[in-house]
């Protein structure tokens, strides 16, 4: 009954099922693992103390930035150089901008330092000047921003002295020196009152940690992939069952009602066609004989007309000035006309007799 599973068509279906189910299970398991990793990192972050409360370390010891070192206090020494404003940044539900200065260190590289946040527009804003000379800063370490970071402006077209993303890839095109692939934000206003009007920017949680929207998206994708696997298996069983029932009906000699109705309709059509042929064959000779009778009657009428035409000129007593249409005809012409009509009628009679003989 199940020998149809070995046909080329079912070989293709079986191959698809064998490949699709493991793939769906693998993708669902991978998404579930991503969700579990986020839950685990969230639990570890809650158990650990606030990174900003831990002891500060030199910048080079905390690089590169990862989930462990992100938010840790980093210490760097150097002199402030170029200054940039980062517009479109929100703090305490208010729109404003960051004030960022490049700190040139002894290594030759520069560290982006966010000195604080100011409300309003970055255009024509009055920004407190950065401290002069060599300074030592301690700030919370942050990884370079990307297009998915909150508040980032990737549209471009900003005025000079402004940038939409705090990253080494952006800054290296604006300054003539190397830049660290990280940045720090000062947790307190700068000493000396130069930054007293600016608010400190709190450090952000590292990307990919915590139970955010992406974590629950991974959980939803997990359910979708497992549902896909179950749907593929269900459809395969359904197709096999339908094919097996059809094969069993054929083996038992059972014919669906639709097939019987179709055969009856085809038989009625064949009978109708045969009846039409018989009726046309029976009516053929009778029609031929009727046509022959009509032709013979026409021949007799034409002979009578020819005799009248011959008598007309002799018995005509019309005056000399008038002309009888019949008598005006030449007898020789009348005989020719009668002869031509007789020959045509004889040909029609022979054709009708030949048709009736068939």
Note the pLDDT tens digit of each residue in 189-206.
765 444 457 899 998 877
Summary mean pLDDT of the chain: 74
> Looking at the predicted structure, is the pLDDT value of residue 68 above 70?
yes
* Confidence at 287, pLDDT banded by 50, 70, 90: very low
Lowest mean pLDDT among 79-88, 125-134, 252-261: 252-261
Cα separation, 102 vs 170, whole angstroms = 13
pLDDT for 191 equals 53
Q: Would you state the pLDDT for residue 303? A: 44
**What is the pLDDT, as a whole number, of residue 115?**
94
Residue 194 has a pLDDT of: 47
Confidence check: pLDDT of 335 > 50: no
With a pLDDT cut of 70, the percent of the chain lying above it is: 65
Can you tell me the distance from the alpha carbon of 345 to that of 328, in angstroms, rounded to the nearest whole number? 26
**Alpha-carbon dihedral angle through residues 198, 203, 208, 211, given to the nearest 10 degrees:** -100
Q: Is the pLDDT of residue 217 over 80?
A: yes
Which candidate, 296, 277, 300, places its Cα nearest to that of 348?
Answer: 296
Closest CA to 77 of 129, 158, 137: 137
**Are 59 and 73 a contacting pair, CB within 8 Å?**
no
Q: Is the model's pLDDT at 143 over the cut of 50?
A: yes
- Peptide bond just before 64 cis, omega within 30 deg: yes
The SS3 assignment for 136 reads strand
Residue 215: per-residue pLDDT: 80
| Mean pLDDT in residue range 17-45 | 89
- The per-residue pLDDT for 32 is 93
Q: Please give the angle made by the CA atoms of 79, 83 and 88, to the nearest 5 degrees.
A: 140
């Amino acid at each position: 009954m199940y020998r149809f599973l070995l046909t080329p068509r079912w070989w293709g279906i079986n191959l698809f099922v064998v490949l699709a189910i493991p793939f769906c299970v693998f993708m669902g398991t991978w998404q579930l693992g991503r969700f579990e990793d986020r839950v685990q990192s969230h639990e570890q972050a809650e158990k650990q103390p606030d990174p900003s409360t831990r002891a500060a370390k030199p910048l080079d010891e905390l690089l590169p930035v990862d989930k462990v070192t992100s938010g840790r206090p980093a210490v760097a020494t150097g002199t402030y150089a170029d200054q940039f404003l980062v517009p479109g940044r929100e703090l305490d539900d208010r729109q404003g901008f960051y004030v960022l200065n490049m700190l040139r260190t002894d290594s030759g590289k520069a560290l982006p330092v966010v000195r604080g946040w100011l409300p309003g527009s970055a255009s024509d804003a009055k920004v407190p000047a950065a401290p002069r000379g060599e300074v030592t800063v301690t700030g919370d370490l942050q990884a370079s921003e990307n297009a998915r970071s909150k508040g980032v402006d990737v549209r471009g077209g900003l005025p000079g002295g402004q940038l939409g993303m705090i990253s080494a890839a952006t800054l290296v095109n604006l300054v003539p020196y190397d830049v660290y692939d990280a940045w720090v934000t000062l947790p307190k206003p700068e000493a000396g009152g130069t930054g007293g009007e600016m608010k400190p920017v709190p450090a952000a949680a590292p990307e990919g940690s915590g139970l955010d929207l992406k974590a629950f998206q991974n959980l939803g994708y997990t359910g979708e992939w497992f549902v896909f696997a179950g749907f593929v298996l269900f459809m395969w069983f359904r197709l096999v069952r339908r094919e097996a029932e059809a094969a069993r009906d054929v083996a038992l000699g059972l014919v669906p009602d639709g097939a019987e109705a179709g055969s009856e309709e085809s038989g009625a059509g064949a009978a109708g066609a045969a009846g039409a042929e018989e009726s046309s064959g029976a009516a053929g000779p009778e029609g031929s004989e009727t046509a022959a009778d009509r032709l013979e009657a026409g021949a007799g009428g034409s002979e009578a007309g020819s005799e009248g035409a011959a008598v007309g000129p002799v018995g005509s007593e019309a005056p000399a000035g008038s002309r009888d249409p019949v008598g005006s005809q030449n007898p020789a012409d009348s005989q020719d006309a009668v002869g031509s009509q007789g020959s045509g009628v004889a040909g029609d009679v022979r054709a009708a007799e030949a048709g009736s003989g068939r």
